[in-house]
Structure 1
Amino acid sequence: MNIADRIQNLRKAKAISQEDLADKVGVSRQAVSKWESEQSVPDLDKIIIMSEYFDVTTDYILKGIEPALNNQGTHGVLTSKILYISSSAFLAIGLFCAFGAWYEEQTAASIWGSMIIQVVGAAGYFSGRLLSGVKASFAINWVNILLVAFMPISLIVAVCFGRIAAPYPTDIITGAVFAAIYLITAGLSFVLLRGAKRA
C-alpha cells in the first residue's frame, strides 16, 4: 500500500468525499484526486494537517508505519460504531413497540415500556460518544433525530388539538399537522447536520 492508497483508505474510513477532505486540508478537490491517483504527492504541511484530521501519525501516511497503540484506537472506533448502530435499533424498536402497545390497549401506561427502550437507545448513542470520542456518521445522527422526534411531535400535536395523546396520529387533522411539523423537523435537522459536518 502506498501514500495514495492510505489517503484514500483514511478518507473512506471517515466516510467523507474528496471535496470534504479538500476543504479540511485547504486544497482543491482536484489536488486530492491527484494524490489518490498517484499523479502527485501532498506537501508536508498538508500531510501534517491530514494526520491530525485522521488522528494518525505522519509516519503512517508517509510510510504505513502504525504505532503500537493503534489497535486500541481501532477497538474504540469499532465499539462506538456498534453502540451507534444499536442505538438506532433500540430507538426504532421502542417506537414500533409503542405503536403496537397503543394499538392494543390505548392507554398512556402501555407506552411507558416503549419509552424506556428508546431511553436505552439514547444512552447507547451517548455512550458511544463518551467511550471513543468518535462522532457518529451523518446518517446515524439524522435517523436518530427522526426516531426520537416522532412520538413527542405526535403527542404534542394531539394535546394541542384536544385529542387523546397517542404515539402516532389518530385522525386526518392531527395527521396532517403532524406530517407538516415532522417534515419541517426532518428538513431542519438535515440542513443543520450537514452544516455541522462541513464546519
Structure 2
Amino acid sequence: MNIADRIQHLRKVKGVSQEELADKIGVSRQAVSKWESEQSIPDIDKVIIMSTYFDVTTDYLLKGIENPHADEARRPDARIFVIVGTVLDFVGVVIAAALWYEQQLPMALVVGLVFIALGCMVFGVGMINSDPRSKTSAQRTFWIVNVWLIAFIPLSFAYNVLFTGTTAPYPLVADPIIAFALFWLVYITLCLVVVYFQVRQSARG
C-alpha cells in the first residue's frame, strides 16, 4: 500500500468524499483525486494536516509505519455505539407498542421514549469517545436506520391525540380513514428525506 492507497483508505474509513477532504485540507478536489490516483503527491504541510485530520502519524501516511503505541491509545469503533443505540431504540418501540396493546396505559409512551432517549444518548457518547476515523460513516448509518425508530412514537402520539383521542405509541385507525393514510404518508416521507440526504452525502465519496 503506497501513500495514494493510504489516503484513499483513510478517507473512506472516515466516510468523507474527495470534496470534503479537500475542504478540510485547503486544496481542490482535483488535487485529492490526483493524490489518490498517484498522479502527484501532497506537500509536507498537507501531509501534516491530513495526519491530524485522520488521527494518524505522518510516518504512517508517508511510509506506512504504524505508531507502536497506537493500540494503547486506540478508541472503540463508533459502529459499536451505533449498534447499541439502534437496539435500544428498537426495544423502545417494541416495548411501548406491547405495553399499549396489553394495557392501554399512557405509561407505554413514556417507557418507549425513555429507551429511545437512552439509545440516542449512547450514540451521542459514542460520537465523543470513539475512533475519529469511524465517526462520519457511523453517524450516517445511525440516522439512515434510526430515523425510522426515533420518529415513529412522537409522530404516532401527535396523530393519535389529534384524531383518536388517545396517547398510543403507534397509529390507530381513525375516522376519517384518510387521517390514518396521511400519517403513513408524512412518516414515510420524513424518513425517506433523511435517508436520501445521508445516502447522497455518502455517495459523494
Which TM bucket (shorter chain)?
Answer: 0.7 to 0.9
Question: What corresponds to 1:165 in structure 2?
Answer: 167
* 1:73-111 Cα deviation digits (max 9, x unpaired): 43x132x32122210122122212323333343332345
Amino acid paired to 2:85: S
Cα shift at 1:54: 0.9
1:182–1:145 Cα change, 3 Å? same
The residue type paired with residue 56 of structure 2 is: V
2:94 corresponding residue in structure 1: 96
Q: Per-residue deviation at 1:162?
A: 4.6
Q: Which position in structure 2 is the counterpart of 1:152?
A: 154
Structure 1 stretches of 5 or more lacking a match? none
2:29 maps to 1:2: no
Give CA-to-partner distance per residue, 1:32-58, whole Å, 9 cap, x none: 233223222112232122122212222
Indicate the SS of the match to 1:137. helix
Moved over 6 A (4+): 191-198
Relative distance call for 1:177 and 1:133 in structure 2 (3 A) is farther
CA offset digits 1:161-190 (Å, max 9, x no partner): 352221121123442342344345436645
2:11 match: 11
Distance in 2 (CA, whole Å) between partners of 1:62 and 1:133 is 21
1:1-199 maps to which residues of 2 (within 5 A)? Answer: 1-74=1-74, 76-78=75-77, 80-132=78-130, 134=132, 135=135, 136-171=138-173, 172-183=177-188, 185-186=190-191, 189=194
Alpha-carbon distance, 1:126 to partner: 2.3
**RMSD (Å), alpha carbons:** 3.1
The 3-state SS of whatever aligns with 1:77 is: coil
Percentage identity across paired residues of the two chains = 44
Cα-to-partner distance string for 1:107-154 (whole Å, 9 max, x where unaligned): 323455444433332232122133337444212134333321210111
TM-score, structure 1 length as denominator?
A: 0.78
CA distance in 2 between counterparts of 1:51 and 1:142 reads: 29
Q: Flag the 1:73–1:173 CA change in 2: closer, same or farther, 3 A.
A: farther
Determine helix, strand or coil for the equivalent of 1:48.
Answer: helix
AA matched with 1:131:
N
Cα pair distance change 1:145/1:133, threshold 3 Å: farther
CA distance in 1 between partners of 2:73 and 2:165 (Å): 51
Higher relative contact order (CA 8 A, sep 6+): 2
Gaps of 5+ in 2: none
* Residues 83 and 58 of structure 1, relative CA distance in 2, 3 Å threshold: same
TM-score for the superposition, normalised by structure 2 = 0.76
Distance 1:183 1:23, change over 3 A: farther
Q: Distance in 2 between matches of 1:195 and 1:9?
A: 20
